[in-house]
Every structure is written in C-alpha cells, then in structure tokens.
Amino acid sequence: MDHSFLIKPMLDDIYPVIDYGKGIYLFDMDGKRYLDGASGAVTANIGHGVTEIIEAMNEQAKKVSFVYRSQFTSEAAESLAEKIANMLPGDLNWCFFVNSGSEATETAMKMAIQYWQEKGVQTKTKVLSRWVSYHGITLGALSMSGHPGRRARFVSLLEDFPVINPPYCYRCPYNLKEANCGYLCAHELETAIKRIGAEQIAAFIAEPVIGAAGGAIVPPKDYYKVIKKICEENDILFIADEVMTGCGRTGTMLACEQWGISPDIVALGKGMGAGYAPIAAAIATEKVIEPILAGTKVVMSGHTLSANPQACATALAVLEYVEQNNIIQEVEGKGAYLRTQLEKLKSLFKFIGDVRGKGLLLGIEFVQDAVSKTPFPRNALITQRIVALAKDKGLLVYPAGAGIDGINGDSIIISPPLTISKKEMEELVHLLKETFNDFS
Ligand code: PLP
C-alpha cells in the first residue's frame, strides 16, 4: 500500500490499513482493535457500521446518486433540510449543503457578506474571529482561523480576521478568576470593532467550544450573551461554527443553546454525516435569507456536489437515527461520567494541567508543572507522543493545540461516539491510564 503515501500527513508514518469498523471500534488488517476515543476527528458520532445507515445509503444508490443542484433538487436534500430546520432552535430554516466543514464556514462567511450587500451595504466585508480557533483549511476559512500553525505558510494569501483573545479561563489573558472577570475577553470585541469600524464588519464567527486549536475550551457562563449583545449593537451578524460541537456532541443539538443564544448563521459538518458521507451545511435564519431571496435570489456560492442526493440521504438517516435512539438526551450524563473519570487521572499524573469540555467533547491539557501551568517545550512533541502511545495501546485520541497562541501548548480531545456505553467508557479510561503510565 506504499502508493497511498499522498494521503499521509507524515511521510515516515506507518499507517495501519483499516479493515472494518463496528460500534466504537475499528479493526485493522492485522486484526488489531482500536477504541475510537475521538470519533476519528470528532466525526463518527454514532459509531461505525450502523446497519440502518448502510441500508439508507443502498436505497438512495438504487434511486439516484447525483443530480446537479442548479438543475434539480432531490427528495433526500429537501427532507434533510426539513429535518435540520426541525432539529435546530429558532428559525434557522435555510440550509445550504456543502461537502466539508471548511466549505460550510466559508459559505457562512459569504452569506453574511451577501446579506449586507443585498441590504445595500457594500462596505461590510470582514468577518472577525478569535485567536485560538479553527474554522477550516480553505483560504477563506483559514483567514477566519486564529491558528498560527496552520496559517504560517499562507499568510500572504490570508485576511487578518482573528482579532481577539479566546475565552480561555485556564490561561486567562488577564489573570482573572471567572467569578469577577467582567468578561474582558468578550469586551475586546467592542474595542476591535471601534478600531476597525462597524461599517467594515459583516459578522463575528466563533466555535462555541474551541476544538482543534485549544482542546475543548469552554467559555464562561455569560460570555456569549456579552458577545451577542456587542454584535447586535453594532449591526454585526453572529456565526456559530458548530462543525465540531453541533449535532448533539455537547448534549444539545447546537452547543449555542447551552449559552442561551441564537446565532444568525450556523455551520454544521462532521457529526452531520457522522463519517458515512462527506456533507456539511451553512444554515441561515429567516432574517438573513430574506434580503437574499428578495434580491439576487441565490446564495452566491456552491459546489458541483452541493446537496448531493447520496450524501443527503445518508445524513438524513444519521439524524433520524440520532433522534429515534434519543442519543442527544444521553450525552450530558455520559459526558459527566467520563469527565469525572478523567478528572481522577489528574491526581495520578502530574503532567495533567486541566480537564475540561462539555458533553462528550472533552479535553486534557498537558503541562510541565501543574502549579505554574508551564507548558512543555515545543520540541518535546508531547501531544504527538501521547497520541502515538495511545494508538499503540489500541486507543485513538485527537491531538489539539493549546497555549494562548494555540501552538505553545499540548492537549488532546477525547470525544468517543455518542453511542458509547458505560463499560466502553471504563475501557477508554483504562487504556488512557495505561498510556499515561507509559508516558510518565
Ligand atoms: N470548523 C471547525 C470548528 C472544525 O473543527 C473543523 C475541522 O476540524 C472545520 C471547521 C473544518 O472542517 P473540515 O475539516 O470538514 O473542512
């Protein structure tokens, strides 16, 4: 399988070849079993090899797999749009289907700019964001991403959209405690808007829980209320990037619901197709779509495979499965249990600085010294070593950034399929403990 090297991020890595998946496990060609403790990249939300999804995929394949979006719509796409509108809070009713999370956030960005253009405002073309964030790898999405490592090689092609500090209480940029912090990091948005000019800014985008760049960083209680108020006072749309947090991962369909705010545009991906198909969506409220429908009438974006019937039928089956099996309702309880078990590891291993997260999107930050929170040196490659050790033991965890710049820090994300049982969570924690034992 040497010819597959082009898909490997590191050319000297030996990648096992996967044979099949079942439930929360993957099995390679040598028969080795891996507990999928990260759902791949926080994607396989309902686990692997679910019969109902495979059947729905076959049924759609028998009917039609592809129609072009400017010639036809399909029953699968229409039903999926309706299902999503019903599952999402408020009037997030207008779905634009794409193939990846990066396309979803980039479409959301374009929708926001187009919204203002249709209203006759041509100057609002910037989309502000935070440092320690990841919104995708394509150039528009990367422009919004406060991820220095992923931006570095392409800075000349990128807009400087990240402008404010993240709500990273473990490493508060102001050294304050949450109870009396006054949400200074949220108020930075006000200062940035004054500096840049509200007339230039179409939207502000944020991941409700910071994922790949920070390792499941959860903002404090009223953070998003402050952010939303600042957006509203300045005529700036709020885009929730729920590519990682959406579709039940944190215990509600959207993580935003837990902060009591409703976004103007939402990006979904990952768990929407749960890895069974490449599909994602940008979803707009009535307010956002109204001037677009009254004006140009189309969202000025799209891909050949947008709203692909095969992918839509698959995502529809996934969301129906999630609903019928009450999967989201169980996330809070499972997440609380898993988090408690992970917190117990903290007292055993001095290099665990922080255990955090929401629902089944949990993170562990590693530090050299838990009291001073001193990060390990960059060249110690701590995250990479821990991820590799875990994989040897048959446990998959997801490497994430950490540190106030999203680079100088180490963390992993633990985000098993939402269908994980208590016994399987115990096995996950056991394998993690063995990994940490080997590491220390
Ligand atoms: N937004 C968030 C919050 C993500 O976590 C990711 C991927 O990790 C993306 C966007 C990009 O999604 P994709 O890799 O499907 O393009």
pLDDT at 8: 53
pLDDT at 406: 84
Q: Pick the last residue of a domain from 263, 291, 324.
A: 324
User: What CATH number corresponds to the domain at position 403?
Assistant: 3.90.1150.10
User: What CATH number corresponds to the domain at position 131?
Assistant: 3.40.640.10
Mean pLDDT on 326-338: 98
Is the pLDDT assigned to residue 209 strictly greater than 60? yes
Is the pLDDT assigned to residue 333 strictly greater than 80? yes
* Cα 312-317-318 angle, rounded to 5 deg: 95
Mean pLDDT on 354-383: 96
Is the pLDDT assigned to residue 253 strictly greater than 80? yes
370 and 413: one domain? yes
393 and 267: one domain? no
Contact (CB, 8 A) for 56 and 332: no
Is the pLDDT assigned to residue 14 strictly greater than 90? no
| pLDDT tens profile 144-178 | 999 999 999 999 999 999 999 999 999 998 999 87
Q: Which residue has the tokens 């940008």?
A: 282
Pocket test for ligand 1, best of 132, 217, 270 (most atoms within 8 A of CB): 270
Going by DSSP bridges, is the β-strand pair 352-358/361-366 parallel, antiparallel, or unpaired?
antiparallel
Residue range(s) defining the domain that contains residue 275 = 54-324
pLDDT at 177: 86
pLDDT at 1: 44
Percent of the chain whose pLDDT exceeds 90:
93
Task: Specify the number of domains making up the chain.
Answer: 2
| Cα–ligand 1 centroid distance for 101 (angstroms) | 5
Using CA atoms, how far apart are residues 188 and 370, in angstroms rounded to an integer?
28
pLDDT at 5: 46
226 and 81: one domain? yes
Token code pair at residue 9: 């991020």
307 and 348: one domain? no
Contact (CB, 8 A) for 440 and 434: no
Residues in contact with 440: Cβ distance below 8 Å, sequence separation at least 6, in sequence order = 349, 350, 351
67 and 207: one domain? yes
180 and 317: one domain? yes
| Cα–ligand 1 centroid distance for 265 (angstroms) | 16
Quote the strand ranges of 14-167, DSSP E: 18-22, 25-28, 33-35, 92-98, 126-130, 162-164
22 and 115: one domain? no
Mean pLDDT on 187-198: 98
145 and 254: one domain? yes
149 and 261: one domain? yes
Is the C-beta atom of 98 inside 6 A of ligand 1?
no
Is the pLDDT assigned to residue 4 strictly greater than 70? no
Write down the mean pLDDT value for the chain.
Answer: 95
The region, left, alpha or beta by phi > 0 then psi within -120 to 50, assigned to residue 279 is: beta
pLDDT at 13: 66
| Total H helices, total E strands in the chain | 13, 14
| pLDDT tens profile 391-439 | 999 999 999 999 988 888 999 999 999 999 999 999 999 999 999 999 9
326: enclosing H helix or E strand: none
Contact (CB, 8 A) for 262 and 254: no
369 and 259: one domain? no
- Strand-pair partners of 291: none
Using CA atoms, how far apart are residues 224 and 370, in angstroms rounded to an integer?
29
Pocket test for ligand 1, best of 99, 135, 207, 247 (most atoms within 8 A of CB): 135
Using CA atoms, how far apart are residues 18 and 21, in angstroms rounded to an integer?
8
Is the pLDDT assigned to residue 2 strictly greater than 60? no
268 and 164: one domain? yes
Using CA atoms, how far apart are residues 390 and 387, in angstroms rounded to an integer?
5
Tell me the torsion sign for CA atoms 184, 188, 189, 191.
positive
Using CA atoms, how far apart are residues 316 and 76, in angstroms rounded to an integer?
7
Q: Pick the last residue of a domain from 298, 324, 350.
A: 324
Is the pLDDT assigned to residue 3 strictly greater than 60? no
Q: Pick the last residue of a domain from 324, 358, 382.
A: 324
112 and 219: one domain? yes
pTM as predicted: 0.97
pLDDT-derived band at 242 (thresholds 50, 70, 90) equals: very high
| Cα–ligand 1 centroid distance for 279 (angstroms) | 12
Contact (CB, 8 A) for 245 and 45: no
Task: Tell me whether 0.95 is exceeded by the ipTM.
Answer: yes
Residue owning the nearest CA to atom 7 of ligand 1: 136
| Cα–ligand 1 centroid distance for 40 (angstroms) | 12
